[in-house]
Structure 1
Amino acid sequence: MCERCPWCGTDPIYVEYHDTEWGVPEYDSRALFEKLVLDGFQAGLSWITILKKRDNFRTAFDGFDPHIIAEWGEEEVARCLADPGIVRHRGKIEATIGNARAWQQIEGREGFSAFLWSYVDGAPLQNSFATMAEVPPETPVSKQLSKDLKKTGFRFCGPTIVYAFMEAVGMANDHLTTCPRHEAVKALAR
């Protein structure tokens, strides 16, 4: 019996995200930055909350262009804190500015995408979990990536956040084996 991963429930926004985006390998450095920042904003909240506000986040954060965000100061922080369309958390907003600066360093040195994908040898990890209970909240790889991101200056990127990020951007295929997207996403691997 083929059934979607149960975490997405029946909310049409969540189902669409599950069916078209979650687990699809992403290699664009800017898109990877956006997703990592949004996963950081999710800390303490549900992903559906962030997903419903994602377009507002994109507007508020200048399309998640790290080069623009890296130049932000208190004026932009205050503007975001006044924006009811996003999660208004000073620490997470300020972390996004620092993360943009860290992204620039990694991007200039080796490319942010290449840096991230090197942790899985450039190819998605193909897991074969049959139940949600089998899916780990973090892994040795997410722990190491989290540690290394923090060394470069990233914040709000603990091992659990990083593993959720890895699943979302296709670095780890954690669609359950009973989900029709498992094989579809597996076929997208480089």
Structure 2
Amino acid sequence: MIQRCPWPGTDPLYVHYHDTEWGVPEYDDRALYEKLVLDGFQAGLAWITILRKRENFRAAFDGFDPEKIARYGEADIARLLGDPGIVRSRAKIEAAIRGAQVWCDIQQSARPFSQRLWDFVDGRPVVNRHGAMKEVPASTPVSEAMSRELKSLGFKFCGPVIVYAFMQAVGMVNDHLVTCFRHGEVLEEGS
């Protein structure tokens, strides 16, 4: 029997996400923007809620193309607020647009988005060796520092807990339990 982290339970979508995406190192600038936005939309909700709506979000937000989203105006905000397939929060929608504008500014700098984020972990995943979920922190000094940096740039909905969940999801930290079959696989995928 395959042993995995307990958090996805038996929901097939959640299990698939755990088994194929969560913790896999992601270096693509656009993909990192998408994940940060989705984690921001998760604030106050369960991740499975966002995961179930992820394809709707992708359709509604032009495939999470930051250059397109950066140009969204009131008509786009109204369209998104009327879309039942996504989380309809004006504050979170406006945060996604502002984040896209910041992302575009960052891409014009010497350190693109991916490098700026991965520099917090010296460019490679931090490998944790937790034996139980109760050992996994909700945030760390690194997620606190990244949160401060993102906020200073103009991102919203990126507190230390959201940022740590983001870091776990995009493989900046390997928080698969040591008993989980993905712990070792993710190590190999990240090297």
Query: What residue number does 1:71 align with?
Result: 71
Aligned to 2:116: 115
1:11-90 aligned at under 5 Å gives the runs 11-90=11-90
Shift of 1:152: 0.5
1:7 alignment partner in structure 2: 7
Q: 2:176 is aligned with what amino acid?
A: H
Distance 1:63 1:46 in 2: 22
Q: Which residue of 2 aligns with 1:130?
A: 131
Partners in 2 of 1:103 and 1:67 — Cα distance?
8
1:30 match: secondary structure = helix
4+ residue stretches of structure 1 with deviation over 3 A? none
- One-letter amino acid matched to 1:64: F
Ranges in structure 1 where 5+ consecutive residues have no aligned partner: none
User: How far has the Cα of 1:189 moved from its partner?
Assistant: 1.8
Helix, strand or coil: the match of 1:114? helix
Per-residue CA deviations over 1:72-103 (Å, capped at 9, x if unaligned) read 01100000000000000000000000000111
CA distance in 2 between counterparts of 1:179 and 1:81 reads 39
Equivalent pair of 1:124/1:170 in contact (CA under 8 Å): yes
Q: Which ranges in structure 2 are unaligned for 5 or more consecutive residues? A: none
* Normalised TM-score (structure 1): 0.98
TM-score normalized with structure 2 length: 0.98
Matches within 5 A, 1:175-186: 175-186=176-187
Which residue in the other structure is 2:165 paired with? 164
**SS of 1:7's equivalent?**
coil
User: Please, what is the CA RMSD of the aligned residues?
Assistant: 0.9
What one-letter code is carried by the residue in structure 2 that aligns with 1:91? Answer: A
Distance across 1 between alignment mates of 2:4 and 2:158: 27
Is the partner of 2:78 in helix, strand or coil?
A: helix
**Residues in 2 aligned to 1:103 and 1:151: alpha-carbon distance in whole angstroms:** 13
Deviation at 1:3, TM superposition (A): 1.7
- Mapped to 1, the partners of 2:105 and 2:147 lie a distance apart of 16
